[in-house]
Each structure stands twice: as structure tokens, then as C-alpha cells.
Chain A
């Protein structure tokens, strides 16, 4: 049972345009959400996060939106740059007792075309 879903395995966008990556979740106990970027043969790099009590968080070209009623979050990258080409993972945080657990989506490969 996939609790965090990224339904688009890939996305291509022209340089300078907006990239929108989507993520859906099923567990209403998730209280914190993160986006990671991953280049081939490297570890995932933290990009941006959002608490479940907020609906938007912005950091430079990156904005994450959270719609709790729809159990949906999205990452907007504006403007997109060729260096943004990578796999983007959505992750959601939950607690079981005192144990913190991060559940990842399957990732979306973003390709920014020059």
C-alpha cells in the first residue's frame, strides 16, 4: 500500500517555464512533508519542506503547496533551469510512538530542456 504517490514518473519542461511536480498521500497522520532532489549516483538532497499547519512555503525559485483536504502537495519551480534536471522525491513524516518515519514517493524525473 503506497501511502505517498507520485503518479508522474517523468516530466519535461522548457527552460524558463514553470515546473510543477505533484504528490498525493493517503495517511492523514502525516504532519510534515519534504521534497528531495536526486542526481544519478548521488544521495538525495533536501530541497524544501512544509508543515501540515501551513499551506505554502517558498524558498527562492521553489514553492511547495499543501492542500490537506485533498491530501495533495505540489512543488513549483520557477523559472526552471537545466540544472534542475533530476529525480524529485516527495516524502512525508509520521510518528509511531516516538519513532519518526519518512515515507517516500517513487520519484518524478524532471528534464528541463534548454
Chain B
């Protein structure tokens, strides 16, 4: 158990819909990261937050957005969903300093039908 909690674990939704994935980082961690893993793909970095502020953006679509709240939990919002958005979405957290390992949650499986 990494200490990073993600909900929901599984989600099935229709094209065009909007979903929200939630992440609670490890206790004390200020940084939250979101990654996407599609079938047969590696881990694609989406976005990073540090103590409520966006720090880095990766390959995140404009239809996707995220935020980190004052209690440090984070949400990833996916809208106008397409079939190709079906993937495993991982949240990870770290204390935020240099050389720190990031720890992953178990992921949220999103299936768009």
C-alpha cells in the first residue's frame, strides 16, 4: 500500500460524458502527479500540482483539467469523453523536494463506450 488513494477504481461511461477522478496523496506529500496509461502504452505524464498550484504540464488534452485543493487532494476532470480516452489513470505523490521518489496509487480504470 503506497498510501496514495484513488477513487473510483473502475468507471464505465458513454462518449460525450464527463467524469471526475479523485486522488488523496500520501500524508504530508505536497506534490500530486497525474499519469495516463493506455493499452500497450507507457506512462504518459499529464500534469503536476504542488501545494495547490500547477507546476508542470505534459501531454494533457484541453478537454482534461485538474486541480489540487487546500487539503491537498486532487481531482482530474475529463470531459467530452471519446473512446480513445479509455485508459488507466494514475495519481502519484511526493514530498516535492529534489531527489524524492514519487509513489503511485492503484489507478482508476476508465472505460468509455
- List A residues at the B interface (Cβ < 8 Å): 32, 34, 36, 41-46, 49, 51, 89, 93, 95-96, 98-107
Chain A residues whose C-beta falls within 8 Å of the C-beta of B56 in the assembled complex: 96, 99-101
**A102 to B105 CA separation, bound complex (whole angstroms):** 16
Q: How many residues does chain B have at the interface if contact means C-beta atoms less than 8 Å apart?
A: 29
Taking A43-B107, A46-B101, A99-B56 as contacts, is the C-beta distance between A104 and B48 under 8 angstroms? no
Number of A-B contacts defined by CB within 8 Å: 63
Report which B residues bind A (CB closer than 8 A): 2, 4, 31, 33, 35, 41-43, 45, 48, 50, 55-56, 58, 90, 92, 94, 96, 98-107, 109
A-side interface mostly: strand
Inter-chain CA distance A30–B38, complex, in Å, is 25
